[in-house]
Amino acid sequence: MVVRMKRRDVSKKRAGFIVCFIFVATVCVFANCGRVVLSRQIVKASKQNEAVSRQYESEKERTEELNRLKIDSKTKQFIENTARDKFGLVYKNEVIFEPKNGKATSEDK
């Protein structure tokens, strides 16, 4: 009878060990799945961060260009160039040369 109890004790210990092993293995599998999901989210967030950084730099350059244009638009030279290019205005005593065919092309300017 003593031998039977020892066998039962050993089989109970084995069953307990197997249950513990299955539990630990299950926890490890779920933890690994969670890690994979988190790493994918990190990669996605990193790509978004890079895109936003590029967009920020682009907007920063655009802002600098607009500030330069704002300052330049107050100069006499800018006003004269705009009047010539967009409106075709010239000074009274200014001499204008036109091509022979009478039409200005982008190459003539």
Give the tens place of pLDDT for each residue, 81-106: 888 889 888 888 888 777 887 665 54
Looking at the chain, which runs of residues are DSSP E strands? none
Query: Looking at residue 89, what is its pLDDT?
Result: 86
Could you identify the residue written with the tokens 């205005």?
Answer: 89
The percentage of residues in the chain with a pLDDT greater than 70, rounded to a whole number, is: 88
Distance set, CA 47 to CA 27, 35, 39, 57 (Å) = 30, 18, 12, 15
Residue 2 backbone dihedrals phi, psi, to 5 degrees: -65, -35
Contact 78, 72 (CB under 8 A): yes
Could you identify the residue written with the tokens 């307990």?
Answer: 16
Taking Cα atoms as reference points, which of 104, 83, 78 lies closest to residue 94? 83
Average pLDDT over residues 43-72: 95
Average pLDDT over residues 67-80: 90
